[in-house]
Structure 1
């Protein structure tokens, strides 16, 4: 009975990942690459590098926006994306001959180093990993559901693996890989050892993946986790003014006064007369992402119409802003990214070794079945 029970758990462990092992492996690999997407962008695209040989201080973001507006007088600047100090600022805009463009502006020299009118490597890798480039229909994507559902596969493989591998904790103190006992034994030892040492990583990926699945369902059901940015009241817009009196520089100053540790990451300018400055950034909380602080500033009055920070978030909002740093390993900078990258490779390797083990057993079982059938036919003929 115990043998039958172990066999059941072993088969369940295999079926949790084998039917979609290729997708699972692909998601693991793309996620691993996405962890270092910023560093790979710096490595492969010289125009993305924020070189600063003269050790100049970073210029105000509003000044960089003015540089783009001077270079393209008819452009409509939509927003600014800020990354690590070694990457340039990305200023998005539209123009007469540019439906959508991104200006790579060096924040130290103020030089426009490139105009990108296509998808960026960072955006491509995050999209490929997040929803496999499946199209979005209104508020949902089949690809997003498919990727986030991998959390159930991962959690099931983790639980069944721990049930199968008795006394798994010994791999922490007495790790072993038997190189002289054949391919099957080596694969089994590597798979088990990697699985035990990756328990914490599997738990983090499963938990954050499950949250992404819940988030997808809420988006699909039009349940807002965070409120939409408010609109400027019609009464706040003077009839005689053609442009708002509060400039982008003023809005940035207001945000810095409200949150002294505000580190801007995504800044949106008003799209129309009733639009507001929407300023998002991080702060001193390392477990929260770079969008955990959000201010909506009225461009006509300078009032803060809405604000959000870790201090006044709901429980769901807190989970939403903690999930990404835990999933991509950005909470501690390049060092935690390196750890996440390493364990991402290990997880990808586990999916490969698991498939190889399953394939080896399947081939062996098929051969044994054929031999048994042949023997039966021989005996029957005799």
Structure 2
């Protein structure tokens, strides 16, 4: 039974909930842990709500983008794809002075158009070409695309690097909230499944029941998302401080780099260098002397080692292979980083894990919201 001397939530009747779950009197350590649990939840609460909701969107970003832009993104599959060189020629015709950054092939999605990332002066565009006819379908501002705005909000709060620092703290709060909550209810975690959610009780008790029930259901998920998210935000911070490879900023203009080699020939060479290789993205050199890189997955692809587990680099002028990379042969740091990435984004099991992550992310939303509601009632 909860200690009669602790009045933190007796005024609203929440002590009844604690009496049900907490069999032994609360120790000073328990009170301190609970205080930290509440602080972590309050500091990170609204941000975690935003992150869980935007995370739900990002799980299905490609599908959502297709639904929002059917005229440019969706195509009617034909009997055979045209050579990719034809699509590149079409793009060069439309953007003679622009830099082609990459071409997304969507090899496993026959009803989707090719998407080119084009840098036109300071403007970044997504341009679409029908892979079956080679015809130009249209363009849009990449920075204003809904799914990209959601990703920028999720990863940077739309204001890097300040947003990276804020979200790093939020990630620590989520991890701290999970750990302190687990410690506080350590002796009664499984009792939540016996007690369930008492819907016929006052709202404050319903909020508390939901908070603990879904918190236990999604416990491992919350810890994984918090730990991996914190890791990635620290990487963003390191990069902004000059501790990692620099990425071109939005709207950064670069002169076009001439390319002689045939992309179709390079794709064929990629397949001959990586057994069972399916190309997904062609990254074009953004500076003279940089390689052209074909990324995709081979027959031995491990879904926990990244979205693309193989790549082949070429000299963009001669078409000679300069490097073949396989994630399975990479160092431990690379593997750990990409395992974290797949665990965070839920891509490792295809649609099944995305649906599971969607459900668990909704659980995280409810856990956060009910935690804030319990605090609001108690205040």
State the TM-score bracket (shorter-chain normalisation). 0.7 to 0.9
Pair 1:92 & 2:117 matched: yes
* Deviation for aligned residue 1:243: 6.8
Task: Work out whether residues 273 and 324 of structure 2, in 8 Å CA contact, stay in contact via their aligned partners in 1.
Answer: no
In structure 2, what is the Cα distance between the partners aligned to 1:185 and 1:244? 66
Paired residue secondary structure (2:57):
helix
What secondary structure sits across from 1:2 in the alignment?
A: coil
Q: Tell me what 1:238 maps to.
A: none
What does residue 332 of structure 2 align with? 315
- Say if 1:311 and 1:189 are closer, same or farther in 2 by CA, change over 3 A: same
Q: Is the 8 A contact 2:44 2:170 kept in 1?
A: no
Look up the match of 2:212.
192
Match of 1:282 among 297, 316, 319: 297
Deviation of residue 53 (structure 1)? 5.0
Indicate the residue corresponding to 1:29 in structure 2. 53
Alpha-carbon distance change, 244 to 356 in structure 1, aligned in 2, over 3 angstroms = closer
Q: Which residue of 2 aligns with 1:346?
A: 363
Q: Which runs of 5+ in 1 are unaligned?
A: 136-140, 227-241, 363-382
Alpha-carbon shift at residue 132 of structure 1 (Å): 0.8
Which one of the candidate residues 84, 87, 94 is aligned to 1:61? 84
From 145, 151, 155, the counterpart of 1:130: 155
User: Structure 1's 293 and 145: CA in aligned 2 closer, same or farther, altered over 3 A?
Assistant: farther
- Paired residue secondary structure (2:289): coil
Shift of 1:167: 1.9
Among 8, 13, 18, the alignment partner of 2:37 is: 13
Cα RMSD between the aligned structures? 2.8
Q: Which residue of 1 aligns with 2:221?
A: 201
Q: What CA deviation, in whole Å up to 9, does each residue of 1:286-313 have, x standing for no partner? A: 1122233233211334332233221321
Tell me, yes or no, if structure 1 residue 77 matches structure 2 residue 77: no
Query: Could you tell me whether the CA contact under 8 Å between 1:36 and 1:341 is conserved in 2?
Result: no
Gaps of 5+ in 2: 1-24, 247-256
Which residues of 2 match residues 210-225 of structure 1 at below 5 A? Answer: 210-220=230-240, 222-224=242-244
Query: Bigger shift: 305-314 or 214-223?
Result: 214-223
Which of the numbers 46, 63, 88 marks the counterpart of 1:39?
63
Aligned counterpart, 1:291:
308
Moved more, 115-124 or 70-79: 70-79
Distance in 1 between residues matched to 2:219 and 2:96, nearest whole Å? 55
Correspondence 1:155 to 2:161 = no
Q: Do structure 1's residue 249 and structure 2's residue 249 form an aligned pair?
A: no
**2-structure distance, mates of 1:245, 1:269:** 11
Aligned residues: 340
Q: Partner of 1:261: helix, strand, or coil? A: coil
Determine the C-alpha separation between the residues in 1 that align with 2:97 and 2:43: 53
Considering Cα pairs closer than 8 Å and 6+ residues apart, tell me whether 1 or 2 has the greater RCO: 2
Give me the whole-angstrom Cα distance separating, in 1, the residues matched to 2:371 and 2:219: 16
Distance 1:170 1:62, change over 3 A: farther
- Aligned counterpart, 1:266: 281
Report the structure number with the largest CA radius of gyration: 1
Deviations 1:256-308 (A, max 9, x none): 21113333333222345423212222342211222332332113343322332
Aligned to 1:182: 202
Instruction: Give the alignment's TM-score, normalised by structure 1.
Output: 0.80
Shift of 1:76: 4.2
